[in-house]
Chain A
Amino acid sequence: MLEARKAPDAAKAAAEFVAQAGRDVAFQLEACVHCGQCAEACHFHLVTREPHHTPVYKLRPMLKAYRRSRAPFAGIQRLLGLAPREPGAAELTAWSELLYDSCNLCGRCTLVCPMGIDIAGLVRRAREGMAAAGFAPEDLYKASGHALDTGSPIGVRWPALRRQIELQEKETGLRIPVDVEGADYLVILSSIEVIAFPEVIGALARIFRQADVSWTIPSAGFEATNIGVQIGSRDIAAALLERVVDAAERLKVKYVISPECGHAYSALRWEGPNLLGRPLPFKVVQITELLDQLVREGRLRLRGKDARRLAFHDPCQLVRRGGLTEEPGRLMDAVSENTVRTPAQGAANFCCGGGGGVSAIHRAERLRFAAFELKKRQVEQAGAEALVTACANCRNVLEEAIDERGMTLPVLGLTELVAQYLEPEAAKS
């Protein structure tokens, strides 16, 4: 698949678009009434006002291929010369920007469409065609190569994680279990957490210590993110997932904890079994879900609350697309006494701008910084003094955008915030 970029092949892309069009996809491709409402939901369109940033327009090459070869009246249309032409290489090259740079797979458009078309899901499908045929952004091919070679899209290997674990052990005075066979929970991490927010490892150690959770980190198969899902390659996605499954099976765990990363959750929890073609041999639990459960069961004892005006940034793949609608709010209430709501918070929240692989595409940087404008306005409207989120990628993207604007607005990780308000004696014991 990675070789495809050397010789982009439009016919291959068209064939893959068509192959993706099973019943559910076809019904949705057919149902659009061209009302344009999805444009008003997409942050990229809202900031650029460019008509071509209309979500459903991003699907045009896929739609054309489908209409030509698979739609109910395709045969007659071809006979009459009325079928659309297959998308060509120039068109697909142009659409690479639309299907990747300006789509976070965030699903806000899906939520607004009066026809109930899951546009984000269709973009994800269309990316399969783009990636297989060599039309995905070069940065994502490179990241995929890194992930296949090293396990991580940015080349984070075990020695780097081990170093961070050692530092966190020093920091917390707690032993961090590695490769413990028979542990209940397997903690996997995103590379961004390992590199930029390693404190989350210490936070988990403190939390699990107090809640008496049996857990471990694997020395192989620890990467939670899945670049295969983002670039749109089921083969790469499945290969990367196998590593996590191998680690879980090797260590005989009952649960795998999907960490603070939205797409990692989607990739493992919802796409994982379908990519692998079999149910997972463990349960997937997102860290927010687990923390909420531990608090509600009384296994985590919290003391004190953050007094700042904190706003929660809902990671799209956890909340809107992932179904974790209640947990983050309950956790926020547990640790913050002054939570403020930004407009459209919850299911209709705006994406950070970096989801769906966009944060890894350099040429998309300006666009995603521009998209931050909406978030900025919302944060200012709510009068938030800090943002809290449960996705390291969101956190990183938000921090970059905040920096770019010259703003001062801390962005906190929810897990770390919970750890900060653990009852101290128990945390140290």
Chain B
Amino acid sequence: MTSVGLLEFARGPALWFSLGVLIAGSLWRVFAIWRLGARVDLSEPRSTHLAAGALRGIFARMLIRKDFRNSRNLGSFNAYLYHIGLAFIVFGYLPHIRFVERLTGIAWPALPGWLMYVAVGPTVVGLLIALLERLSDPVRRLLSGFDDYFSWLVTFLPLLTGMAAVNQSPALESAAPLYPLPVAIHLLSVELMFLWLPFGKLGHAFLVFFSRGITGAALQRKGAAI
């Protein structure tokens, strides 16, 4: 297959297939859990503002509680680093916005190009630190399995291939980029991530709202700290 052919594959069937798996898999994961049902809590609530509790749970846990901030959770500061870095790159980089626009018609203002270059470095370093910590910290090593390492890989690959494709990016708008191969590989790596996301721990991208919301509401019900 020529590189143009590969790009066409990556932009065509591979993209639609991976997006289909991403959406259907994620919806199924949520639906399959949702249908398990929940029992009505019969205890008398101290507060009935459960939606507010759920929202507080969702937002409050974005920050580490004051009592738990110490040098030992450096890893969680690193997590801020690569999450924010990834968000900048995924949603703020002009070619990505154009790509989404081409698919959905939805667009938003891009972040300045220089910010992207600044964001890539710390994000890459952050992800590498995350991997090293997972391998070296006894707790994280114990908790980790295939899912953790594979999820790391499918997150890191798009970043790596994206850096190689970065000079090709303006061409994404047109049908034939100057050097199609790096763009094709980048797209395929993103598609690999799409394919894996619903099944493994990357699902936390959507599961986080449920787990935080449920606990937030439950603690609010008791009037306890969220």
Q: A and B: real partners? A: yes
Query: A295-311: contact bitstring with B at CB < 8 Å (1 yes, 0 no)?
Result: 00000000000000000
A54 touches B143 (CB 8 A): yes
- Cα(A186)–Cα(B143), bound, Å: 47
B224 touches A118 (CB 8 A): no
A40 touches B72 (CB 8 A): yes
Looking at chain B, what size class is its interface with the partner chain?
35 or more
Within B88-144, which residues are at the interface with A (CB < 8 Å)?
134, 137-144
B interface majority secondary structure: helix
Q: Given A52-B142, A57-B143, A112-B68, A36 and B208 touching (CB < 8 A)?
A: no
Q: Given A23-B36, A116-B57, A34 and B140 touching (CB < 8 A)?
A: yes
B201 touches A34 (CB 8 A): yes
A308 to chain B, nearest CB (A): 25
Residues of A close to B43: CB separation below 8 A = 269-274, 279
- Cα(A57)–Cα(B215), bound, Å: 19
- Cα(A395)–Cα(B68), bound, Å: 25
Residues of B close to A56: CB separation below 8 A = 143
B46: CB under 8 A from chain A? Answer: yes
A226: CB under 8 A from chain B? Answer: no
A114 touches B224 (CB 8 A): no
B37: CB under 8 A from chain A? Answer: yes
Q: How many A-B residue pairs have CB under 8 A?
A: 165
A39 to chain B, nearest CB (A): 5
Of the listed stretches B11-19, B25-33, B158-166, B168-176, chain A binds B25-33
A325 touches B42 (CB 8 A): no
Q: Given A39-B139, A115-B61, A271-B43, A347 and B204 touching (CB < 8 A)?
A: no
Nearest chain-B residue to A114 (Cβ)? B61
A26 touches B33 (CB 8 A): yes
B180: CB under 8 A from chain A? Answer: no
Q: Given A24-B38, A35-B76, A113 and B222 touching (CB < 8 A)?
A: no
B225 to chain A, nearest CB (A): 4
A23 touches B33 (CB 8 A): yes
Residues of A close to B38: CB separation below 8 A = 22-24
Nearest chain-B residue to A276 (Cβ)? B42
Q: Given A31-B204, A277-B42, A116 and B214 touching (CB < 8 A)?
A: yes
Query: A113-149: contact bitstring with B at CB < 8 Å (1 yes, 0 no)?
Result: 1111110010000000000000000000000000000
Nearest chain-B residue to A107 (Cβ)? B224
B85: CB under 8 A from chain A? Answer: no
B65 to chain A, nearest CB (A): 6
A283 touches B137 (CB 8 A): no
B65 touches A22 (CB 8 A): no
* Best-buried of A57, A115, A280, A283 by chain B (most CB within 10 Å): A115
- Cα(A66)–Cα(B196), bound, Å: 20
Within B50-83, which residues are at the interface with A (CB < 8 Å)?
57-58, 61-62, 64-65, 67-68, 70, 72-73, 75-76, 79
A54 touches B142 (CB 8 A): yes
- Cα(A99)–Cα(B208), bound, Å: 25
Interface size on A, residues (CB 8 A): 62
B166 to chain A, nearest CB (A): 29
B142 touches A31 (CB 8 A): no
A110: CB under 8 A from chain B? Answer: yes
Within B212-226, which residues are at the interface with A (CB < 8 Å)?
212-216, 218-219, 222-225
A28: CB under 8 A from chain B? Answer: yes
B207: CB under 8 A from chain A? Answer: yes
Of the listed stretches A192-200, A316-324, A330-338, chain B binds A316-324
B36 touches A325 (CB 8 A): no
Residues of A close to B70: CB separation below 8 A = 40
B185 to chain A, nearest CB (A): 27
A346: CB under 8 A from chain B? Answer: yes
B204 touches A348 (CB 8 A): no
A51 touches B142 (CB 8 A): yes
Within A236-280, which residues are at the interface with B (CB < 8 Å)?
269-274, 277-280
Q: Given A34-B148, A348-B67, A116 and B215 touching (CB < 8 A)?
A: yes
- Cα(A312)–Cα(B64), bound, Å: 24
- Cα(A174)–Cα(B50), bound, Å: 45
B210: CB under 8 A from chain A? Answer: yes
A321 touches which of B61, B73, B222 (Cβ 8 Å): B222
User: What residues of chain A have their CB less than 8 Å away from a CB belonging to chain B?
Assistant: 21-24, 26-28, 30-37, 39-41, 45, 51-52, 54, 56-57, 70-73, 110-118, 121, 269-274, 277-280, 283-284, 319-325, 343-344, 346-348
User: Can you pick out 7 interface pairs between chain A and chain B where the beta carbons lie within 8 Å of each other?
Assistant: A23-B36, A24-B38, A51-B139, A73-B29, A273-B41, A324-B223, A348-B68
